[in-house]
Structure 1
Amino acid sequence: MSNDSNINTQAFYLNPQRKVAVLNYNEKYIADIFELLDSEELLQIVQAFLDRRRHKTETNNAFEDQSATKYVATIKAIMLNQSAVFQQFDRTEVLQSIEALYSFYRSFLRIAVLNQHDSSVMANGFMNIDNQFNDLVIHLYRTIEEKLQGFANKTYRQVSAGSSACILTQSHDWPIPAGYEALKPIRFIDTLMLRPPMMMKTPSNKREGTFTAVEQNPIQKFTGSQDEWFCFPAKIGESLAYIYFHRDYFASGISLANLFEVADAKSVIGHKPDLILLFGLQHTEGDVCHYYHDTDNDLWVGEVPYNDKTTYFGYMKKMCLTLHNLHMIYQGKLPIHGSMVQINFANGQSKNVVFFGDSGAGKSESIEALQEIADDQIIDIETIFDDMGSFTLTDHDIYAQGTEIGAFVRLDDLSSAVAFNNMDRGIYLNPDQKNARVIIPADSYARVIAHHPIDMWVYANNYSDKIGVHRFATEDEAKQTFIAGKRKALGTTDEVGMSTTFFANPFGPVQEEARTRPIIDQVFQRLFDHHIYVGEIYTHLGYDKSKTSLNQSAQELLDLLTNS
């Protein structure tokens, strides 16, 4: 985790390999331009910038041949209008270098941290504190720029100059079980302020493998410090999760805010979680992801190793969901790998439809196709859950609940007709690469965990050459397809070609197949007893990238929904 090129002081941390920076406002808050110019932190950033420039390119810029100390001294001289500077350096070269320095700093994910210390004033004012620092940085940059170019700008862009996001942290008392005492110093994230749209790059852009059980509790390996680790308290469905992550994983830790509800202080104080995730452990068995069921304390504990591979957000999301789904199975609920939408039709009807299938099967694409071909037949499509939910049986009924308040969506598959209207609030991951993703908020937590009736449940079949929609005639026929979990892998994971996954869900049911099968039987029996439509939609994505066939299938589904 440590690296000689890292900057690591009490007030500032920067990791060039992970493109992450952390600003600790509690240790130092810079309030004016010359305090910033005199700071040790700016000097270290300039040094890191010069080292990178000299390593990457053979620069002919004489301004960058000097030491970091002299570089900063020159900036101060420019600010003080000392024209003698330009007897030594060319204005154009200095301006080019300052522009590059500014871009270098802004290329990092910059997280500002402020500890609340139970102060209501701090809680109400932390955004203003961060805004003031951002204004300070952009004011310094613009002042230098305009002094060097000799005229004022005519276009100003209000970018996130100082920080990308600011978090308010707090220490909470919760009933820590014996053996988990190492977690006590780690502060909880209380409130977040993001500056979207956020563009982030990570070394990895694909998830591999599944998560397996271990016999040793991962908590025994945890030695994290308060400076290096943070806890994101999340409500995942109705599970309470404490997600501990190393600061080098802030790209994933911040992204959680668009996916899961942040648990408030009342939900944390005095409450033991259902799930604990340790993300970024230095040593794990086989250097892969695992989980442990602590039956004595009724806890599911996950571990994810510190390496470049696990920087992909899919590891953070799917490990959280695996722990949650295991918790659901042990409560007698059935985890569903799929998307649920409420479709509101112009004729006044409303239908809740669940699309089921593994990654790349065409769940999101089917919803988008419906939106595209519906014209004025559909008023809106509300996403209840985008990737994972659960079915619950009552004495006489069945209902669905979601887990996430947001969606983790492939940019490749989105069009202007996408069923989300708030892309400007998105967190974008590796947007220039294959399997580029965006995390966007979709619905309120109260709406997601409400008890939703089920009108239709369809399997997203991307491997058949058929077109349209097929209703299963019998319970056994339906279970055979759903349990087999067949799909043609499309490159969103490490799989290629045809694959099968038990119940199309490698995040819980695969790990607890014996315990899941009786719940599956009970769910299908209830669905067929209540004559709820159970079928499959042929998405054709394994064959036809033009989506023409998918649109035909979506049209048949639309006709079925409007005529039923």
Structure 2
Amino acid sequence: MNPDRSVAVINYNEEYIQDIFQLINSEGFYNLVKLYLDESQKSLTNSYEGVDPKDYVNTLKAILIDNKDVYEKYDNELILKSIEDLYSYYRSYFRVSLINKHNSDIVTSDFMDIDNHFNEVVLHLYRAIEEKIQGFTNRTYRQINAGTNACVLTQSIEWPTPAGYESLKSIRFLDTLMLRPPMMMHTKSNKREGVFSAVNSNPIAKFDGKQEDWFCFPARIGESLAYIYFHRDYFVSGVALANLFDVADEASIKGQKPDEILLFGLDETEGDVCHYYHDEENDIWVGEVPYNDKTTYFGYMKKMCLTLHNLHMIYEDRLPIHGSMVRISFSNGKTKSVVFFGDSGAGKSESIEALQEVADDKIIDIETIFDDMGSFAFDEDGNVYAQGTETGAFVRLDDLSSSVAFNNMDRGIYLNPELKNARVILPANTYKRVVEHHSIDMWVYANNYDAAIGLHQFPDEDHAKETFISGKRKALGTTDEVGMSTTFFANPFGPVQEEAKTRPIIDKVFNKLYKDKVYVGEIYTHLGYDKSKDSLNESAKELLNQLMNF
């Protein structure tokens, strides 16, 4: 347990708790009580000053076996309150359990039952002590996630480790994850800052992590294979990845060199910020993120993964797109694929929401192909297609209508829901569907800085490129930026770092889209001027009319 990060890791391979007596006699339970009492003594309303952890545990044992000679010397109300506080303290941690599968089919099939049993044991212990002290059984029971928030199967898998990367060989991969949503998770940081930059030396030289402290989430990001190594204190972000990226299976890892490697939680990085390095000899993009409070925000892990992926795409002659793509089925029988483009806070998600609000029964279905990042590429015939990266969506709660937020609550991972810039990670589509080659009917820039309302089509590719490349927006507080800003191609996650390589791909894509008479324009979201949504809804009506009639 790490009280500084409020993360608890429970390794069932070291000890598996079968019943309440084994639990209350365990070293882990004693350590929990000691931490709880230590934290209580920091409170201004401390009632447990000088209480010894051993005496506390022995008192709970006496309650279980009805040894009143031991616990009747204490006030029952005080004991009852302390039990509630201890229970709440434990549940304030993000609790993840681990089972190393050792290629065992039995473990693989039963791991959820194993974790469910532990959950029942924790509930049983709490209720047994509570009901004995209060002298009656409860009339209402709440089946909460008392034991863990998630359970993870891990597996050691051999992959062709290049020279210099041997330190990664012992680190286990996450094989299968079981989540208990809705998950409310809290981190010390709630905003991302800065732009990731290149370094001249490979960060792998700084990695000396131990097997018990580090884990690897093997992700399929678009068509890239990424090995995301993270320190155990970052399990909040490591588990949250499961709602965002597809977990690569053993067959995809064994014998396979990754396209990207991320080392998340290094003791030391250059300048103590996030960087990347292109290992050209092995053709691996390597990212480094330091261990500090700031990088606990999930946006660092997500955006570093996407930066490495986008750099890989640029070197593959593909164009990374910062935006969202939806496929809309209309009641008139038409189906259109639309890409909304722009930097954070420009109004991409809000435009889709507004489109749904004004559509009434004109829209049958809106399918999310990608929510934040995708790429444009050319097939063998020279035609442009779009492809996604994530299978989920990482969105601000403020961007969601109440109906969308509540309808998906039981599948969501919520990050700092009580704070400004609160986020939720929701599954959106299947990996197979995301990486299909999707045609593009419309590509619009989300313009949140002009006072105009409606939709505007660019007359030629030069005018279009001028807007898309300048990447203007009025920052709305989702990052550390304020006021008007410009970002090359509205994408600080790849194109900014490799502008010279990106520009020829931009020219090639725009030229082809205009030859094919694809609608390229901008939608005025008006978010830099007002939050009423009235203006955006007017723009959405014009967008709806355009989509249904061309």
For structure 2, the residue ranges without an aligned partner over 5 or more in a row are none
Q: Is contact 1:371–1:419 with CA below 8 Å preserved after alignment?
A: no
Displacement of 1:92 in angstroms is 1.0
Identify the match of residue 465 of structure 1 among 432, 448, 451: 451
User: Does the Cα contact within 8 Å between 2:154 and 2:172 map onto a contact in 1?
Assistant: yes
Aligned length: 549
Alignment match, 1:379: 364
Correspondent of 1:526 among 507, 512, 521 = 512
Distance 1:396 1:309 in 2: 44
On the 8 A contact 1:334/1:390 being kept in 2, the answer is yes
The equivalent position to 2:38 in structure 1, one of 51, 75, 79, is 51
Displacement of 1:397: 1.2
The answer to whether residue 252 in structure 2 is matched with residue 259 in structure 1 is no
* 1:89-136 Cα distance to aligned partner (Å, 9 max, x none): 111111110000000000000110010111111111111111111110
Question: Which residue does the alignment assign to 1:29?
Answer: 16
Find out whether 1:177 has 2:162 as its counterpart. yes
Alignment of 1:338 with 2:350, yes or no, is no
User: Which residue of the other structure, out of 264, 274, 277, is the alignment partner of 1:279?
Assistant: 264
Partner of 1:7: none
Matched residue, 1:3:
none
% identity of equivalent residues: 70
1:244 corresponds to which residue? 229
Residue 96 of structure 2 is aligned to residue 143 of structure 1? no
Per-residue displacement from partner, 1:53-88 (whole Å, max 9, x unpaired)?
111224246xx6421101011111111112234531
Equivalent residue in structure 1 for 2:414, among 419, 425, 428: 428
TM-score of the superposition, structure 2-length normalised?
0.99
Q: Does the 8 Å CA contact 1:381/1:419 hold for their aligned counterparts?
A: no
**In the alignment, does 2:96 pair up with 1:84?**
no
The Cα of 1:323 is off from its aligned counterpart by: 0.3
* Amino acid aligned to 1:268: I
Do residues 194 (structure 1) and 184 (structure 2) align? Answer: no
Distance 1:422 1:310 in 2: 27
Q: What is the one-letter code of the residue matched to 1:373?
A: V
When structure 1 is superposed on structure 2, of 355-364 and 153-162 the one drifting more is 153-162
Q: What does residue 487 of structure 1 align with?
A: 473
The 3 A distance-change label for structure 1 pair 152 and 419 is closer
Please report how far the alpha carbon of residue 441 of structure 1 lies from its aligned counterpart in structure 2 after TM superposition.
0.3
In 2, the alpha carbon distance for the partners of 1:420 and 1:362 equals 21
Query: Does the aligned pair in 1 maintain the 2:62–2:71 contact within 8 Å?
Result: no
1:351-380 CA distances to partner (integer Å, 9 max, x unpaired)?
Answer: 100000000000000000111111111111
TM-score with structure 1 setting the length: 0.96
Q: Which amino acid aligns with 1:213?
A: A
The equivalent of 1:108 in structure 2 is 93
Cα distance in 1, alignment partners of residues 458 and 258 from structure 2: 40
Tell me the secondary structure at the aligned position of residue 56 of structure 1.
coil
| Letter matched to residue 282 of structure 2 | N
Amino acid across the alignment from 1:51:
D
Contact 1:422/1:441 (<8 A) preserved: no
SS at match of 1:77: helix
Gaps of 5+ in 1: 1-13
From 475, 491, 495, the equivalent of 1:505 is 491
Structure-2 separation of matches of 1:42 and 1:86: 19
How far off is 1:548 after superposition?
0.8
1:368–1:419 CA contact under 8 A, matched in 2: no
What is the deviation of 1:531? Answer: 0.2
For residues 24 and 72 of structure 2, what CA distance do their matches in structure 1 show? 22
8 Å CA contact retained: 1:37, 1:72: yes
Contact 1:207 1:493 in 2 (8 A): yes
Identify the residue that residue 199 of structure 2 maps to in structure 1: 214
Do structure 1's residue 538 and structure 2's residue 549 form an aligned pair? no
**Greater displacement, 336-345 / 411-420:** 411-420
Residues 178 and 86 of structure 1, relative CA distance in 2, 3 Å threshold: closer
Q: Is the Cα contact below 8 Å between 1:372 and 1:417 reproduced in 2?
A: no
Equivalent residues of 1:111, 1:166 under 8 A apart: yes
1:516 to 480, 502, 518: 502
Partners of 1:420 and 1:441 in 2: CA distance = 14
**C-alpha deviation, 1:419, in angstroms:** 8.8
Distance in 2 separating the partners of 1:485 and 1:478: 11
Counterpart residue type for residue 121 of structure 1? I
Superposed counterparts of 1:89-168, under 5 Å: 89-168=74-153
Match of 1:552 among 533, 538, 547: 538
Deviation at 1:421, TM superposition (A): 4.5
Describe the shift of the 1:304–1:328 C-alpha distance in structure 2 as closer, same or farther (beyond 3 A). same
Query: Is this contact kept in 2: 1:242–1:276, CA < 8 A?
Result: yes
The answer to whether the 8 A contact 1:371-1:418 is kept is: no
Counterpart among 5, 15, 19 of residue 2 in structure 2: 15
Change in 2 beyond 3 A, CA 1:379/1:559? same
- How far residue 429 of structure 1 moved from its aligned partner, in angstroms, is 0.4
Distance in 1, Cα, partners of 2:32 & 2:337: 53
Q: Is the 8 A contact 1:371 1:417 kept in 2?
A: no
Task: Give 1:422 deviation, angstroms.
Answer: 2.7
Give the Cα separation in 1 of the matches to 2:287 and 2:57.
Answer: 46
RMSD over aligned CA atoms reads 1.1
Indicate the residue corresponding to 1:412 in structure 2.
Answer: 398
**Greater shift after overlay, 339-348 or 82-91?**
82-91
